[in-house]
Each structure stands twice: as structure tokens, then as C-alpha cells.
Amino acid sequence: MWRTAKAPSLAEMEAMAHDVFGRLPRTFRELCEDVIIRIDDFPTEEVLDEMEAESEFDLLGLFQGVGLPHQSHGDIARLPNMIWLYRRPILDYWAEHDEALGDIVRHVLIHEIGHHFGLSDEDMEAIEADAD
């Protein structure tokens, strides 16, 4: 069995992310209807610099765009909101922790959707701590 096991490709991880997204509550998904989910192996150098990351493995995901609380109907046309999931850092995290890959992808996706809703990292940590 292990002789044929391999890490998921970009396309396979994208399919996993869309499957995870499709299982989220409908009201949650409807608030994200214009958000594009993308998978890449690593963040760009520009993103790493902007986020002050020490390593290309520091970011598992990223929300880029204007969160819902900051949008208005009078906005000038803008780029679509995007959620990036970074395959190699996610796989690295998976290898070092005792969690299912799908659970990690779900966590990162929901975390980045939280940024779309205008939540900070601290807000989401508090929500997760209360849920535990």
C-alpha cells in the first residue's frame, strides 16, 4: 500500500478544497459566492515579504481582497476576492501533526474565509478556543 502512496497534486488538492467548501453550511457558502479558491505550491516572494514570513513554509493559506465588512456597492471595479491554499506548506504541516489532511485543508479554508468575513487572526483564535 505505501509503495504507491503519493502526496496529492495541485489538482487533487484543489478538488479536495472545493469538496470541503461544498460541505460547509449553505448560508456560509452564499456569503462567499464571489470568492475564488486557488491552490499553489508556495506563496509568491511578494506575499512572503508582505506577510514578513521567515520561510516559504510559514503560510498555509492567504485571503487576498476586500473583506465583506469593507465592501460597498459604490466601489470601483476591483479584482475578485481570492483564497489561496499552499499545498507544500500544508503537506509539511500534515507530515508533522496527527491530523487528517482533509481536516487541515478544512481548517485553513475556514480560517481564510474568516478573513473574508473581516475577522482577524485573534478573533478566529478566540472563536476556536471557545469551541474547544
- What are the grid coordinates assigned to 12, written together? 487533487
Mean pLDDT of 53-70: 85
What is 10-64+79-131's CATH number? 3.30.2010.20
pLDDT at 120 over 70: yes
Confidence (pLDDT) at 119: 78
This prediction's pTM = 0.85
Rounded distance between C-alpha atoms, residue 63 and residue 75, angstroms: 19
pLDDT single digits (tens) 13-42 = 999 999 999 998 888 888 888 899 999 999
Strands laid side by side in the 61-64 sheet: 36-40, 82-86, 61-64
Confidence of residue 132 (pLDDT cuts 50, 70, 90): low
What are the domain boundaries of the chain?
Answer: 10-64+79-131
pLDDT single digits (tens) 105-115 = 999 998 998 88
DSSP letters along 109-125, please?
HHHHHHHHTT--HHHHH
Rounded distance between C-alpha atoms, residue 62 and residue 121, angstroms: 11
Mean pLDDT of 97-104: 94
